[in-house]
Amino acid sequence: MSALILRMKPLATPRMLLVIAALVVAWCGLWEAFSIANVLSGVVVAVVALAIAGPSTAGRTVHIGALLQLLWLVLVDLFRSTAQVVWEILTPVDYTDEIIIGIDTKADSSAHMLLLTVSITLTPGTAIVDINTTTGRLYLHLLHADAAPHVTKHVERLAELACRAFPTADPISGPSSGPSFEREGTAT
């Protein structure tokens, strides 16, 4: 209990107050009314949730321009991947040439990984299989091998935007963060 109260101390900064205000608005939105009871209970729930969650791994600065550019690219990719999925399902040709490629980036924190996972999975024809956080190497699974150079360029651009959006994110460290070959060496 005292550990929980200790974790509430860094919550008084202006950025954290903004986050608490946004959470209270979302809580009132779920209850459909802005009454006093909703606002007070929302503040209590927001503070307890942020204290349990601990300090955020996204770092102290957020570069809004890069974040907006990334979100715009993701939106455009959403529609492109919808069109490609529809096209591939409706045409009778069933030719898939699957490969796994590796791409080197500078992404090393869990905030980068979340952004990259969502944006790469929404890119048509690609999915992330594994990430090596110590060297920043992404492994992607492609459905069509001849799109590999184009996908590599696109993913490098996405990774650079993600690193610019959260420049001070804490890197993941420790033996449990690598892909499977590091873990298989220590197991059984």
Footprint of other proteins (CB under 8 A): 26, 29-30, 32, 78, 81-82, 85-86, 88-90, 94, 96-102, 114, 117-118, 121-122, 124-125, 127-130, 137, 139, 141, 143, 145, 179-182, 185
Smallest distance from other proteins to CB 91, Å: 11
| Closest CB to other proteins among residues 8, 26 | 26
For residue 114, what are the contacts with CB-CB under 8 A and spacing of at least 6? Answer: none
Query: Burial letters for 19-36: b for 16+ Cβ neighbours within 10 Å, e otherwise?
Result: ebeebbeebbeeeeeeee
Question: Could you tell me which of 7, 107, 15, 117 has the C-alpha nearest to residue 62?
Answer: 15
Smallest distance from other proteins to CB 98, Å: 5
| Closest CB to other proteins among residues 14, 174 | 174
| Closest CB to other proteins among residues 6, 85 | 85
| Closest CB to other proteins among residues 52, 89 | 89
Q: Give just the sign of the alpha carbon dihedral 164, 166, 170, 171.
A: negative
Smallest distance from other proteins to CB 5, Å: 28
